[in-house]
Structure 1
Amino acid sequence: MAPLKPHWAQPSHPDIHQVIVNEAEFTSKSLSKVTVPPFGVFAKMTFPPCTITPEATYATVQIGKNRHISLNSDLLYLNHSCDPSLILDTANLDILAGPKGLKPGDELTFFYPSTEWHMAQPFDCLCQSASCRGTITGAQGMDPRKLEGFWLSGHIRQMLEEKATGKPADAHADVPDLVGDATAQLLRAALSKAEDVASKARAALDGYTASTLVSLEDEATKGTIANAA
């Protein structure tokens, strides 16, 4: 398959990763530009640019039993690996560093069956890791034993249970999803701003506290010298 043709302004996430496209070999990959601790947030799947799509394509991520999103950004250049560096937390719309964390230069990958139930184009994995699962399909077509040891999205675990038992695994499975709801989007944006403000306030407080301690130490030193004189 030819490299993805972006319809968004590039680079979309210049501070956190670099996209490398090899037109001659029809390949692409994405490399981290940041250090992230294990299970720390690498990026958020935000609305916009993400949009809800009615069906799966090669450029979507599944976030529920019948829900998919288009990332509409350079995050689409995340490749598959059976030793992934990332976790797609579809429940919270976060992209997390894996258990090894991230450092600059690490390739950004995730385990495709962790989010995708069905894939129209199965492929042979070439990751060459000790945990390589060979032919990769959506979770529906994978031997359950080949999914063991991987982080799986909640909807994938639910659908695997339903496939195994033949019964609905969640009585609330049909509750409407609010990811694309306008009010939910506004609240999510407000929360993001609040988190940013809190982070800046925390940094300001730390700086103020540090400077106050230095002033107090200086005053204490001056008092000691004065008493000695």
Structure 2
Amino acid sequence: MAPLTPHWVRPSHPEIQEVVINEAEFQSKSLSKVALPAWDLYARLDFPPCTDAAEPTYATVQYGRDKHLNLNSDLLYINHSCEPSLIFDMGRLAVIAGPKGIQPGEELTFFYPSTEWDMAQPFDCLCGTETCRGRISGAGDMTAEQLSGLFLNKHIHELLEQKASNGNGNVASGNGASSAAVNDEDDSSALLGAENLANIARELREASDRAEKAAAAACRALAALQVRQAGLLKAGKKANGVSPAATFNAAASSLRRGPTSRELSGEMGGDTSFST
């Protein structure tokens, strides 16, 4: 984007964002300083620093059918891409990681028509991706095919449906762009929200860890019980020349053992077959 004269204190997001200023027109950009999994929260769009905009400009973000906001932060330096690394979820006023997640040093981008119906300053996209849409002037000028597979905000869906019902433009009738413009994963993320998805993932990991620990404890308890039943746990003595510790280990190793969740995921490179 073109050089700006920020009226906010910079850097505004020093822990998560690096802004690379280039004096050439539309060449400044933002890089991530953090690694995030898909759908995780990157930044909130709080009021303040955000403020309502009196009218749309090239620097505002649309967050309703007729509502636009000023970011008033370095998030303004996040450029457009037809294969974006971020999603601006304006219904929840949050910026979240896209379906591939983000890595440190990766450029921060989002799909401008996901928020903008009619852009104040259209441009020819230079993202260079295989799916580049070319001219970017807002979702209102794009076909359902051009919008397919990308997250779109609720107000964009509503405007597309209205346009289709009016029978004008190039938005398909029937199901319309509302169902064609977003894939199942994007739709699920919009419904659940970035924070809910992160909480669910954390709870599942914790449940998996608890299950592994419980299984290991049960295995040890059963092995000890077998040793006791055999009458071999006698303080400091051997039975038939075999130490209690050796018998305990043999009993434990003889138990039927299933794979742990880490082995199933390949994290530890373990054998996922059952041994008898």
TM-score, normalised to structure 1, is: 0.71
2: distance between equivalents of 1:50 and 1:24? 27
Deviation at 1:47, TM superposition (A): 1.1
Where structure 1 has 5 or more consecutive residues not aligned to the other structure, the ranges are: 168-194, 200-205, 207-226
1:29-40 equivalence runs, <5 A: 29-40=29-40
Moved over 4 A (4+): none
Q: Which residue of 2 aligns with 1:143?
A: 143
TM-score, normalised to structure 2, is: 0.59
Change over 3 Å in CA distance of 1:5–1:122 after alignment to 2:
same
2: distance between equivalents of 1:133 and 1:115? 16
Question: What amino acid is aligned across from residue 17 of structure 1 in structure 2?
Answer: Q
Q: Which residue of 2 aligns with 1:115?
A: 115
2: distance between equivalents of 1:24 and 1:142? 29
Deviation at 1:48, TM superposition (A): 0.9
Aligned Cα root-mean-square deviation (Å): 2.4
Task: Write the deviation string for residues 94-129 of structure 1: whole angstroms up to 9, x where unpaired.
Answer: 100000001100100000000001112211111110
3-state SS of 1:54 partner? coil
- Structure with more relative contact order (C-alpha pairs < 8 Å, separation 6 or more): 1
1: distance between equivalents of 2:127 and 2:24? 20
Where structure 2 has 5 or more consecutive residues not aligned to the other structure, the ranges are: 168-194, 200-205, 207-234, 237-276
Structure with greater strand share of residues: 1
Question: What amino acid is aligned across from residue 134 of structure 1 in structure 2?
Answer: G
1: distance between equivalents of 2:5 and 2:59? 10
2:44 paired with 1:18: no
3-state SS of 2:28 partner? strand
1:97-112 equivalence runs, <5 A: 97-112=97-112
1: distance between equivalents of 2:2 and 2:136? 19
2: distance between equivalents of 1:24 and 1:143? 32
Deviation at 1:52, TM superposition (A): 1.0
2: distance between equivalents of 1:151 and 1:136? 16
1:63-212 equivalence runs, <5 A: 63-166=63-166
Deviation at 1:24, TM superposition (A): 4.2
1: distance between equivalents of 2:25 and 2:59? 19
1: distance between equivalents of 2:62 and 2:25? 28
Q: Which residue of 2 aligns with 1:45?
A: 45
Greater C-alpha radius of gyration: 2
1: distance between equivalents of 2:9 and 2:141? 36
| Identical amino acids, percent of aligned pairs | 59
Deviation at 1:143, TM superposition (A): 2.1
Change over 3 Å in CA distance of 1:26–1:120 after alignment to 2:
closer
